[in-house]
Chains A and B, each alone.
Chain A
Amino acid sequence: MEKENQKLQASENDLLNKRLKLDYEEITPCLKEVTTVWEKMLTTPGRSKIKFDMEKMHSAVGQGVPRHHRGEIWKFLAEQYHLKHPFPSKQQPKDTPYKELLKQLTSQQHAILIDLGRTFPTHPYFSAQLGAGQLSLYNILKAYSLLDQEVGYCQGLSFVAGILLLHMGEEEAFNMLKFLMFDMGLRKQYRPDMIILQIQMYQLSRLLHDYHRDLYNHLEEHEIGPSLYAAPWFLTVFASQFPLGFVARVFDMIFLQGSEVIFKVALSLLGSHKPLILQHENLETIVDFIKSTLPNLGLVQMEKTISQVFVMDISKQLQAYEVEYHVLQEELIDSSPLSDNQRMDRLEKTNSSLRKQNLDLLEQLQVANGRIQSLEATIEKLLTSESKLKQATLALELERSALLQTVERLQGQTAELGGPEPGPAPPEPAGRRRPEPSPRQSTAPEPGSPPP
């Protein structure tokens, strides 16, 4: 009896926790029809093996994601990604089980611990010191730091893990963190040299220049580069400053399209608040507006921002500006009147960054080679099975012609034996004629045949 009570209590706690975790205002409230569409997809039998239509998923995400299914939908989107990309083009982590990782010790323990109380500090699920939320957060971050030794723990990651934890259980959240980092492309910005973050800041600045020139000029005039406001946007996927409903929508899109979404959201955010930003006339008030006021401007603006993101395509520019960044860095070294020491310093930095890139490329090459090998193996397998099938076809054809001959022979024999029988059935087309019915077959009388 007591056990039963405890069980009930526990499940009640779970429910309470779930309500607590999902207690946020949705940005694109999901209509009943859309929820039904999602539910249908989620409950499709054998779902994890069926490739769903990309268009359909895209439009469903666009129309909204019901809060109560959100975690499941993220898992579903990840599942679909893996189905459609059976040969990952990006580096993959070792496949150490979560439970194994939890048993190990991390050198990042201190860094993780001091950030636990400083991650969603006012959210009821995370605010209790060493409460369920903080413990799960600690476990995930610790496990990740062990899984990915290069990144380890980087400030900002705790927010990403936190958002996942609000929507699913601990181990699932860990798996989804892995997915976002390795498959959706979030990982590179957290590496210890943080060069990718700098490149991202440059790319954002160039995108602003392309799409919102007046705003770009305004910010430039006050010497405000994206690194003064956008670093947390990228490193926490907006989670450290923006309302949860908004962040959840950004996550929806990242699960669908990858980390480029952050650029789109940033650009769309700045664009849709341009008139307000232009009203501010000095560095402090502009940055303060972007950091504190903009995240809380209300649902309508948020919805507008999100819906714009769905129609943007900036991947070409992003590529071009990354290349441009490297070229500029080189030119900077070549042209600037620097002392030998500074020159040396810069060259060393460039060198190490190039080495890093080289390693990355090597890694990509390895992955690609692996992929080629596995594709080649697949081809071989397919070829083998093709030739087997050809042989089978041949055998079947031989059998068929043998059977045809038999039929003909039997027909000849029938004719020799009895001549034309009274009331014969009309002849069937050649080759499809059945052999004479054996007596056993007559137990299932054909229509029209005389009763026994």
Chain B
Amino acid sequence: MGWGDAEGMLWTRGLLWERVWNAVGNFLFKFLVIGSAGTGKSCLLHQFIENKFKQDSNHTIGVEFGSRVVNVGGKTVKLQIWDTAGQERFRRETYNSLAAWLTDARTLASPNIVVILCGNKKDLDLEREVTFLEASRFAQENELMFLETSALTGENVEEAFLKCARTILNKIDSGELDPERMGSGIQYGDASLRQLRQPRSAQAVAPQPCGC
């Protein structure tokens, strides 16, 4: 990371949006990482995918994404994580390029979305500007999950992503979410889903946002 990161950027808000695809026993969850410029979104993603800190990287222009297959509670889940540019004017552009599922998620899913707030750069403790308590309270008031992470050391990074995944799966298990039922109303398919599904079954399952 470059010069300027230390300057008042301790407090990162990385929000992970997700929605869930049921792919006959396998799941594909899509996450969206958003937050201000220079807060470490790409580094969080890289740490999660590659298990190391991303040195010397460009700032993100447009959208990037990565994916990793994880095992959560005995189930195989593929997490596809979309990483966005931080500068404000890119948000609209980002939304457009993710329109296929995001507009949909916004209209259908506001109550169904799982969000985690990440206070990143935990390693820069000396320059901390927001206390853990303040942030926890904020998260509680807004019904968000919350973790303090460090993309540099890797602390809590995996935990943040897995926590989201676990929450979604729990909702499915408890019946709060029914991917089958929810699969009825959406018109388009998803290429990654078709891919994931191919070896097993051709049953059409449409993407659905998940409840929380």
Q: Which A positions have Cβ atoms within 8 angstroms of B?
A: 110-111, 113-122, 127, 129-130, 134, 154-156, 158-159, 192-194, 197-198, 201, 221-225, 227-228, 231-232, 235-236, 240, 281-284, 287, 291, 342
Query: In the assembled complex, how far is the CB of residue A208 from the closest CB belonging to chain B, in whole angstroms?
Result: 16
B173 at the interface (CB under 8 A from A): no
Partner of B62, one of A193, A223, A224, A232: A232
Apart from A227-B62, A231-B62, what are 9 other A-B pairs with CB-CB below 8 Å? Answer: A110-B7, A110-B8, A116-B2, A154-B89, A193-B89, A227-B93, A228-B97, A283-B192, A284-B192
A282 and B92 within 8 A (CB): no
Chain B residues 61 to 80 lying within 8 A of chain A, measured CB to CB, are: 61-65, 67, 80
The complex places the Cα of A110 from the Cα of B7 at a distance, in Å, of 9
B4 and A117 within 8 A (CB): yes
The complex places the Cα of A201 from the Cα of B62 at a distance, in Å, of 12
- Given A111-B37, A193-B92, A283-B191, A155 and B61 contact (CB-CB distance below 8 Å): yes
The complex places the Cα of A281 from the Cα of B4 at a distance, in Å, of 40
- Given A155-B90, A223-B100, A115 and B192 contact (CB-CB distance below 8 Å): no
A115 and B59 within 8 A (CB): yes
B9 and A114 within 8 A (CB): yes
Query: In the assembled complex, how far is the CB of residue B184 from the closest CB belonging to chain A, in whole angstroms?
Result: 17
Partner of A284, one of B2, B8, B63, B67: B67
- Given A121-B2, A193-B92, A281 and B195 contact (CB-CB distance below 8 Å): yes
B3 and A116 within 8 A (CB): yes
The complex places the Cα of A192 from the Cα of B57 at a distance, in Å, of 24
The complex places the Cα of A227 from the Cα of B107 at a distance, in Å, of 22
B190 at the interface (CB under 8 A from A): yes
Q: Which residue of A has the minimal Cβ distance to B58?
A: A240
B65 and A287 within 8 A (CB): yes
Partner of B56, one of A114, A121, A130, A222: A121
Q: Which B positions have Cβ atoms within 8 angstroms of A?
A: 1-5, 7-9, 37-38, 56-65, 67, 80, 85-90, 92-93, 96-97, 100, 107, 190-192, 195
Total A-B residue pairs with C-beta atoms closer than 8 Å? 114
Partner of A114, one of B37, B192, B195: B37
Q: Which residue of B has the minimal Cβ distance to A222?
A: B191
B89 and A194 within 8 A (CB): yes
Query: In the assembled complex, how far is the CB of residue A252 from the closest CB belonging to chain B, in whole angstroms?
Result: 22
Which A residues are CB-close (under 8 A) to B5?
114, 117
Which A residues are CB-close (under 8 A) to B97?
201, 225, 227-228, 231
Which A residues are CB-close (under 8 A) to B100?
223
B37 and A155 within 8 A (CB): yes
The complex places the Cα of A198 from the Cα of B97 at a distance, in Å, of 9
B93 and A197 within 8 A (CB): yes
Query: In the assembled complex, how far is the CB of residue A280 from the closest CB belonging to chain B, in whole angstroms?
Result: 11
A118 and B62 within 8 A (CB): no
B2 and A117 within 8 A (CB): yes
The 3 closest A-B pairs by CB, nearest first: A117-B2, A231-B62, A227-B97
- Given A282-B191, A284-B192, A231 and B56 contact (CB-CB distance below 8 Å): no
Query: In the assembled complex, how far is the CB of residue A234 from the closest CB belonging to chain B, in whole angstroms?
Result: 9
Which B residues are CB-close (under 8 A) to A228?
62-63, 97
Which B residues are CB-close (under 8 A) to A156?
61
B89 and A192 within 8 A (CB): yes
The complex places the Cα of A342 from the Cα of B8 at a distance, in Å, of 38
Which A residues are CB-close (under 8 A) to B107?
342
